[in-house]
Every structure is written in structure tokens, then in C-alpha cells.
Structure 1
Amino acid sequence: MQTNTPAADRPAHAGAAGRSAPAARRVMSFDAIGTRWVVDAEDVLAQDVRERVRAVIDDFDRTWSRFRPDSLVTHIARSEHGGTFEVPSGDVPLLDLYDRLVEATDGALDPLVGGRLELLGYDARYTLRPASDHELGRQHAVRPSWFDDVDRAGATLRTRRPVVIDVGAAGKGYLVDRVADVLADAGLRRFTVDAGGDLVQHGRSGLRVGLEDPADPRRVLGVATLDRRALCASATNRRAWGEALHHLLDARTGLAVRDVVATWAVADSAAVADGVATALFLVGPDRLTAFDAQFARLLPDRRVQHSPGAGIELFTSAAPAGDPNTRTTKETV
């Protein structure tokens, strides 16, 4: 959901001189699941590691993408009378996280919001044209909900009717964690995984990431310092395609949120950071204390709410984004 600054603007330690392997052998850069990925390691990324990274991402996309006709999510959506479906057992932690997020937000964050997003134009064809008010109203009257329309036992999902699952609230962060696991399992000790700005760093302390001002991409509102942690962000000014139309919906109303402009969250995992960054658009921070994340969120009147403690430093006024010791994260399509 975010993007990073060019490699030349990264912190000095993220591309430190003195490493013997050529940069091309230490860095992977590619497009997947609709965003740009950069994997930057201190050691050589062997070919088999690169292939495993690609395989993990493709497996995830084949399961959870509502934009692929061959995905499990698309199969679930086309099952007229519902059915029983098995997701990969390795993705159970993602569903466990969604259970917690749905409960913490009283259903405002719900993975079954996918059908509403499609009616609003954010569909597989990217029509970006909302359905009629009549059709939107009819859909909302019978809107599905995660706890009512899906029974889950571990990796087994039982649906009662066609439902469109969208894991955009936490899925990319979760996939960043999966890629990081591949690298760690391969014995790599120091690396950064950046999926369009949803990022995790491993074995490197003090990675500084600028928090972009959504009103002016040339400036930052603060800095997050990552010490073996993850950062994710979100904003309403990206993935927007019309008046009051963007990707951050309150599932209870079916409407795009307006009370928050941008959020940032730092946590031990990118999945939790991603989920909290999304949930902060929907409920107050007091509802999310169980997730053990630091946060900041920007309100429409330019006030910034933030959690106490280390992790996120806010400026009293926006600072220039070009600080060579600070990486910048921002929400993008």
C-alpha cells in the first residue's frame, strides 16, 4: 500500500559500503500483487532463495487475490450456495488475526467487504464506476459479515452463500512476514523487505523511515525508527477514484471513512502493523491496545494522535522529505 524512496535515499547502513557481494546479487526488485517489492540483504541472495520468495508470493496470490479468475477467493465468490473450502494451513495465522480485528472493531473491519468494494468499482476489471444507489442499497441490506456468514475451523471455511473475501487490511503485511521468514530460514541475518512501503527489517537496528505528509509528498510528519520491527501505513488519498470513494470502508455502513486521513503503525510483525494501520481508520486507539503496536494517525484538521513510547517521533511541523538518513514511506496505489 505504500512506496519507498529510491535506493539512493536509503539510510547509509541499508546499503553500507564494504560489503563484498555486488549489489545486484544482494537485492531483489520486482512487481507482485500490484506493488513494487525490494528485498535488500547484506549477503548474497542465492537463486534458490529468490525462487522461494517468488513461490511464496505466487501461492499467496493464487489463494487470496480477488483479481485472479483462478484464485480460491474467486472460487468462493462464485459458489452459488456456499460450500466448504480449505485454505493453506500456513495462512491460518492471517485468519486468526482477522478474527481479532473484526472483534476489536465491532465488525467495522471485515474481510467480507470485498463485495462492497466491487460494487463501488474497485473490481477485477478496475472499472472504477460505482453501481447505482438502488443496487448499493440492496447489497447493504443483505451485507455479509465474517462471523455470521463464515464458519471457520482452522484452515477450513464453510460459507452459507457467495461471499467476496478481501484481505487487503492485513494481507500484504502478512505476506511481507512470510517473505522475511524465507530469508531467515535461508540463514540470512540482516535484510529489509519492502513491499511498496509495508516493510520489515531484520538484524538491523535504527532503520529510520519518514512518515510522508499525504497533503505534500515532499515533506514528512515524523520518523519511525525500526529496531527489528515492521512499519505499515495507509491513507485515504490513495486508491481513490471519485468523490468519497476510496478503498478504506467501514463494513457496517458500506461507506468510505472520512474521520481519519492517514495512519502509521509499528509492531513486531508486518501483519499486525498492517491490520492496526487499517483499524485505526475505524475505531479509536483504545480499542486496539491488545495488538501491542505503536501508532500515529492524522485527522482531517491536521491534528496527529499518537501512542506514547519509542518507535514513532513526530515533528511539530512537517520536515523536508529529502533527509539522506531517512527513508520515506507513503500510501500509494
Structure 2
Amino acid sequence: MPHPGWTEFSFDGIGTRWEISTPSPLPGRHRRRLLEVVADYDAAWSRFRPDSLVAGAARQPGSFQLPAGAAALGPLYGTLYRLSNGAMTPLIGGSLEQLGYDAAYSLRPAGPPLPAPRWEDVLDWDGTVLTTSKPVVIDVGAAGKGQLADLLSAELLAGGIGEHFIDASGDLLNSAPDPGTAPVEVALEHPYDSSRAIGMISLGAGALCASAANRRAWGDGLHHVLDGSTGAPVRTVVASWAMAGTAMVADALATALFFVEGARLREEFDFSWLTVYTDGHAEYSTDFEGVLFS
């Protein structure tokens, strides 16, 4: 619980556990509306269900009308695709399926790593319309959970619930509208031992999101952060954290740090960061206000 005395509304959605903390219990109508927002997001973006909007793009080429949030996701992914030279891409879904992270959660590779198709060859993303020239498996998991956190926060604000804290299985969004509200102290999970922390950070208003090779890992060294240019898991970075004004941006940049140095990302995004490499060293921005344990 981020603040003593607050109450918590917990539920499962888009394959993860959500905990929304507020000073007072959420009325039933607010809870129902939050669950509707989650259901709508899943119905649009889930590659694990055959009736989702993106599932249609996996079956046949064409133009597909997506929800309003797609207009923000497209440019974000486009920028990170460019900065990573194609390594970070929304077309990574087929590569994940190839290695066993499929709708059946088989976790058994179907063959060697499969590079994602090049965006410029198969996809045009114009606002809320996706147009494809061949069947493609869209996966926006690198930013989607964060965007959904932002949507839930907007719903709470629209309902007059200004103070709230959202925990999406470790990806955090703190509304903190009251300047007198104390920051939330957050432990940074050790990438090789989830029972330990490598440091602490204070989260005021904004979002803190993480990505780690030990989450959603399976088989012989396989994990969910794949390089779109090769289809293989990234081996140089083991964990990353990003703090930004929105959870969508923080979530996306936490993944982008597996491919692009934080200093380069800072040229185009306003955020702070910490990256832990597989050789044991860490790099971070000067404004990542936390403490790393020795």
C-alpha cells in the first residue's frame, strides 16, 4: 500500500495484476467503469485472443480502425523504431510466437529466432488507422500496459478521484496532486533475485516503469525483450527503469533502454533512467534520484 490508510481495488487485466489505491474506497460505478476500460483495451490490442482488433491484422492484410489511443502509440513506436534502427518494433509479435510466447503460452520455440518484418515494408500507421500489406502480428506490450495505466488514471480524474496510485505489476503511476503528499518509496528489484533490491527511489507525481530479462522468461535463456532486427532476446542489458510524466512513455522507454543508450533517448524524450547491464555495471541519468546499494 503506497500510503497508510488508503484502500485498494485489485483485479486482473491484459495478463497482469492491477492494484489501484485511493484515499477512500472506490464506489461500485467507478470500479465497473475501470474494468470496462481494461476490457476495451484488451479487445483492441490483445494478440492472445482471436476476436481482438489486431488479431484481424494477423489473418489478412487491409486497413484496421483502432481506438483513439492508437494515435499516441503510433508516433511513439515510430520514434523508437527509428532510434533503435528497427530493434524496437510493434511488429515483434511473430518473433515472440516463433520462440514460444504465443496465444497458447506453449513456451516451446517453433524454430530459430525470426526477425520482425520491416515497418516500412508492411505497415502504415496513420492516427487510428493501421494499413498492412501482408498479415502481421502486432504487439504493443512494450508501451501498452503503461498506456492503459494512463487511461485508468484519466478515468479516475474524470470521476473526481484526483489522488490515486496505480500499480500494474511493478509499473507505477502516482497522481500525487497534493504538493503535501509524500513521495512513494520504491525498491528496485534485483534482476537475478526477486527477493532482493539493488536500490531505492522516491516516486512523486509521474510514472516509474521497469523492464527486466527475468520477467516473462522461459526455456534456455529466452525472455520477452526481443531485438526486432534479429528476433533474438537482447543479451547485453538485464534490467532498466524509466521515470516520465506518463506511464505510456515510461513503459516504452524502459524497453527502449535495452536497445538505445539513455543519453541518446534523452535527446528526444523528457525522462530519467537507470540501465543495468549483464556485465554487472549500471548507467543512469544524473536526475534519476535514487540510491543504488553497493
| Fold agreement, TM-score > 0.5 | yes
Deviates more, 1:27-36 or 1:63-72: 27-36
Q: Is 1:286 aligned to 2:275, yes or no? A: no
Q: What's the secondary structure of 1:199's corresponding residue?
A: strand
8 A contact 2:80–2:88 mirrored in 1: yes
CA deviation after TM superposition for structure 1 residue 131, in Å: 1.4
CA deviation after TM superposition for structure 1 residue 249, in Å: 0.4
Alignment match, 1:15 = 4
Q: What's the secondary structure of 1:250's corresponding residue?
A: coil
* Two-structure CA RMSD over aligned residues (Å): 1.5
State TM-score, norm by structure 2.
0.94
Name structure 2 gaps, 5 residues minimum. Answer: none
Rounded Cα–Cα distance in structure 2 between residues aligned with 1:182 and 1:282: 33
Cα gap change, 1:100/1:205 in structure 2, threshold over 3 Å: closer, same or farther?
farther
CA deviation after TM superposition for structure 1 residue 266, in Å: 0.7
* Structure-to-structure mapping, 1:1-333, within 5 angstroms: 10-11=1-2, 14-16=3-5, 26-79=7-60, 82-133=61-112, 136=113, 139-140=114-115, 143-203=116-176, 204-289=181-266, 290-309=268-287, 311-317=288-294
CA deviation after TM superposition for structure 1 residue 223, in Å: 1.6
Cα gap change, 1:205/1:146 in structure 2, threshold over 3 Å: closer, same or farther?
farther
More RCO (CA 8 Å, sep 6+): 1
8 A contact 2:71–2:126 mirrored in 1: no
Q: What's the secondary structure of 2:141's corresponding residue?
A: coil
Rounded Cα–Cα distance in structure 2 between residues aligned with 1:312 and 1:63: 36
- Structure 1 counterpart of 2:170, one-letter code: G
Quote the sequence identity (%).
46
Name structure 1 gaps, 5 residues minimum. Answer: 1-9, 17-22, 318-333
State TM-score, norm by structure 1.
0.83
- Quick check: which has more Rg, 1 or 2? 1
Alignment match, 1:322 = none
CA deviation after TM superposition for structure 1 residue 115, in Å: 0.4
Rounded Cα–Cα distance in structure 2 between residues aligned with 1:109 and 1:88: 22
Rounded Cα–Cα distance in structure 1 between residues aligned with 2:50 and 2:190: 36
CA deviation after TM superposition for structure 1 residue 146, in Å: 2.3
Q: What's the secondary structure of 1:170's corresponding residue?
A: helix
8 A contact 1:295–1:312 mirrored in 2: no
- Structure 1 counterpart of 2:269, one-letter code: F
Rounded Cα–Cα distance in structure 2 between residues aligned with 1:199 and 1:267: 11
* Structure 1 stretches of 4+ moved >3 Å: none
Q: What's the secondary structure of 1:84's corresponding residue?
A: strand
Alignment match, 1:329 = none
